Structure 1
Amino acid sequence: MNAAADCTPASERDDVLVRAIAGIDTTLLDCIQVNAAVLADTEHGPDTHLEIGSVVDFAPRHSTHSALPTVERQPSEQIAQLGAPLGLDLRIGEPVDRGQSLLDLIPPHRGALYVIGDAYRMPWLPYHGHQHMAHSVLLRASADGARIEAVDAYDNETPYGRAEPVVCTYTRQQAAALFDGSPTTPVLTHRGESRPQPLEHVLTRNARAATPMLETEAPEHYAIAFRDHPDQTAAFTALLLETWLLSRSRRLHAKWLARRLPGSAHAAAVAQQAGAWEDLTGQCYLAARRVQRGRPAPPQLHTTLAQLLRTDLEIAADAAPSAPGDDLTDSAEVRHTVQAVIADVMAIDLNLVAATDDLSQLEGFASFQMVETVERLEETYAVEFPASELQPATLRSIDGLTGLVQRAARKQAVSAA
């Protein structure tokens, strides 16, 4: 980590933002998403940020810097898409090139200002002094405004060293100097409504986006563009970023799905696919280093890339409910999901839960676990259980909870029809 006025790992601090960071797998988020995720979890509670992972897509476009395609999105596009799933009202302000004017926008009472600036100017990052790129950070005042803290949850291994979640403290003058002469975009942030979309709606949306792509050769054309580019050093450098972005998005989607549809065959397939993407990213890193040294890259990488993209599309297309509520009212599937949720809530082996119908026989299953289970099931199926049905006998039984989910899901399907 590059030197700064006073930087400490976020893990060594204890405040509301840092506690939110501790609950996030920051390796799953890019440098624009990660600090917005911190604000969302601060406002709405742990795991709110996982809703970013509900969408799995493949929509490459041509880069403005080269002829190669890219799945990377401009910060303004990302911010426009982040607000609703995070339960935040995000409004992009005019770029500010005077540091003091930027600091004046920091909300009082230890509120944080979310900004997009240049990583080249941020001393806590390995990119400092090496590479210009858009990067987010949270700025907040301390010591009655005399000092400014930069809170950054970004977590990544870069060519210049490792970036880890950190809190850096500057005098106001030092902080202003970091942003002087470098246009920095403030994003005004307000608490919005956190309302996860019904699972079947998300799966249907992803399937509708994937199905037309399967009828094209978009995955193959994307891979071929990198394979046949005349400058292979540039191609593999770009491909490393592409697979890094794709891998992170697939791993985040897998974690979101594991929470929304735990124990399902679909969640298992997505998790396996995410692991394959992580493997490919590692292979691309090795290939990029070899090409930089004038050595040949492994020949199968581009074929593997196209295959993974096509498999992504196939998995998404196959997951669409065949009719409203069909997947959600299947008794065996719901029962398995109920068991998986209870196992996760209690942090015990799934087999222990599957071995009994009476949850009171499980050591540690009490009122808190009962409430958490109900809330998780309502979130998973995007339903609200009738208060009249929340009877102790029902909530202590696998059969009772399974029936509760089925009735609520059927009722919602009929209402939506």
Structure 2
Amino acid sequence: MSAPVGPCAKASHHDGDPLVEAIRGIDTTALDCVQVNAAVLADARHGPGTHLALGGRTAFTPRAGAGGALPTVEEPAAERIERMGDVLGLSLVPGRPVSDGRALLDLLPEDGSPLYVVGDAFRMPWLPYHGHQHMEHSLLLRAVDGGARVEAVDAYDNETPYGRAEPVVCSYDRAQAAALFDGSPTLPVPVRGAPPARSPVPEILGRNAEDGRRLLAGDAPERYAAAFRDHPDQQEACAALLLETWLLSRSRRLHAAWAAHHLPGSPVASAAAERAAAWETLAGQCYLAARRVQRGRPVPPQIHPALAELLRADAESAVRAATEHPGEAMPHEPADVRQTVVHTVADILGASPEAVAATEDLSRLEGFASFQMVETVERLEEMYGVEFAPEDLDAAVLRSVEGLVGLVLRTTAGAEVAHA
């Protein structure tokens, strides 16, 4: 929404709030309404960029619709939450749905930490869907003022047919907050910290490639597209396809952000960005198709073959990425490693690659400190699927591009010998 509604204000107006600070570091337009608030929790607890782990995998696994229903890539929220938590370094164990607002608020931690919940967007007045459309939607609830008031923090960001949704913080007295959830089942999910499941980048790309090969070996993309093309009610089919391509577009945008974070400047990152742009274009075409069908006009015939082609192109890109990434099949050329190191440091510091490449002592760059050194080490270990020896992590090595390049080359060469 473009302006505050009632007790709500844009999240950007709340300086110093840890959840809001986390929101500011997230491209909320790359996440769906279930992911986005779990992403906020992860970044607030483990640091900026943690949420990007949600974008590593690119599997296409639609569920078949029962009784003639259309297939969908959307999963019920309860099935996704625990799996998201494992990736994000959060213990998210859904409780039993609660339909009494006061009972729901009794579950809020007394220390003011957030409770992740999934309810009905139809009942949430800060959303454009309020009073218009029923759908599962996450938010964060927390007690403030000693429990006298309740804040709803929602990082969802989307342009909807009913208006724009933007990240907001809404404040209610306890009775008002309880009334929002009365009579509507809401899933409470207590939040606890856990170690993030950090999978090496080559491992993730390898799993994506396996999924891609399986998809390319069959006709799943064509069958998926045909289900929408051949559905007897094209208004329903186009509305459903609009949601499908929106979800797929956001997932590909998130994957592109993951690739840019872990493999900055690489062919893998460039290809992921191109795939995300292609999906955004198709989602726009599906929006146009849905509007045309609502007015009694025919469906543009190109959207269905384009959908199947994009899914196949995604799979081909995943297979190619596993061989292009330096941690997999390609030899570790010093020039390639140097480019990766430069782009990685530049991404962490928010500096230009040119400035990093021209600096002999990285500690002279603005923002460089011990935390950034640690993040650089962790990123490079993930990229190359190795673990640097503690005795090699000398401060002088970590403050130099050439030192980091040598560290990568020595360690990966040792790993290749060990696996020979």
TM-score range, shorter chain: over 0.9
> Contact 2:101–2:179 at 8 Å: present in 1 too?
yes
Percent sequence identity is 57
1:190 Cα deviation after fit? 0.8
Output the CA distance in 1 between the equivalents of 2:67 and 2:47. Answer: 39
Tell me the equivalent position of 2:166: 164
User: 325, 329, 336: which is aligned to 1:333?
Assistant: 336
Output the CA distance in 2 between the equivalents of 1:17 and 1:324. Answer: 35
What are the equivalent positions in structure 2 for 1:357-372 lying under 5 Å apart? Answer: 358-359=360-361, 364=366, 367=369
**Equivalent position amino acid for 1:314 in 2:** E
1:382 Cα deviation after fit? 5.0
> Contact 1:259–1:380 at 8 Å: present in 2 too?
no
**Equivalent position amino acid for 1:404 in 2:** L
More deviation, 100-109/195-204? 195-204
Tell me the equivalent position of 1:27: 29
Change (3 A) 1:371 1:60: closer
What are the equivalent positions in structure 2 for 1:30-41 lying under 5 Å apart? Answer: 30-41=32-43
Tell me the equivalent position of 1:136: 138
Say whether 1:6 aligns with 2:7.
yes
> Contact 2:260–2:269 at 8 Å: present in 1 too?
yes
1:229 Cα deviation after fit? 1.6
Tell me the equivalent position of 1:300: 302
User: 349, 354, 377: which is aligned to 2:352?
Assistant: 349
Secondary structure of the equivalent of 1:92? coil
Output the CA distance in 1 between the equivalents of 2:321 and 2:211. Answer: 12
Change (3 A) 1:236 1:333: same
> Contact 2:349–2:368 at 8 Å: present in 1 too?
no
Output the CA distance in 2 between the equivalents of 1:119 and 1:166. Answer: 14
Change (3 A) 1:173 1:338: same
> Contact 1:359–1:365 at 8 Å: present in 2 too?
no
Output the CA distance in 1 between the equivalents of 2:176 and 2:413. Answer: 59
CA deviation vs aligned residue, 1:146-169 (integer Å, no higher than 9, x gap)? 111111111111111111111111
CA deviation vs aligned residue, 1:232-289 (integer Å, no higher than 9, x gap)? 1111111100000000000000100111111111111111111111111111111111
What are the equivalent positions in structure 2 for 1:11-160 lying under 5 Å apart? Answer: 11-14=12-15, 15-64=17-66, 67-160=69-162
Change (3 A) 1:171 1:312: same
Output the CA distance in 2 between the equivalents of 1:76 and 1:127. Answer: 21
User: 185, 188, 200: which is aligned to 1:186?
Assistant: 188
Output the CA distance in 1 between the equivalents of 2:337 and 2:45. Answer: 31
Tell me the equivalent position of 1:173: 175
Taking only aligned residues, the RMSD between alpha carbons, in angstroms, comes to: 2.5
CA deviation vs aligned residue, 1:388-414 (integer Å, no higher than 9, x gap)? 323455334433211211233344566
What are the equivalent positions in structure 2 for 1:199-238 lying under 5 Å apart? Answer: 199-238=201-240
**Equivalent position amino acid for 2:405 in 1:** T
Tell me the equivalent position of 1:409: 412
**Equivalent position amino acid for 2:346 in 1:** A
Output the CA distance in 1 between the equivalents of 2:334 and 2:65. Answer: 48
Tell me the equivalent position of 2:273: 271
Output the CA distance in 1 between the equivalents of 2:233 and 2:14. Answer: 46
Output the CA distance in 2 between the equivalents of 1:347 and 1:229. Answer: 48
Give 5+ residue unaligned stretches, structure 1.
none
Output the CA distance in 2 between the equivalents of 1:181 and 1:360. Answer: 58
More deviation, 323-332/291-300? 323-332
Secondary structure of the equivalent of 1:176? helix
The alignment covers a number of residue pairs equal to 416
> Contact 1:107–1:140 at 8 Å: present in 2 too?
yes
When normalised by structure 2's length, the TM-score is: 0.91
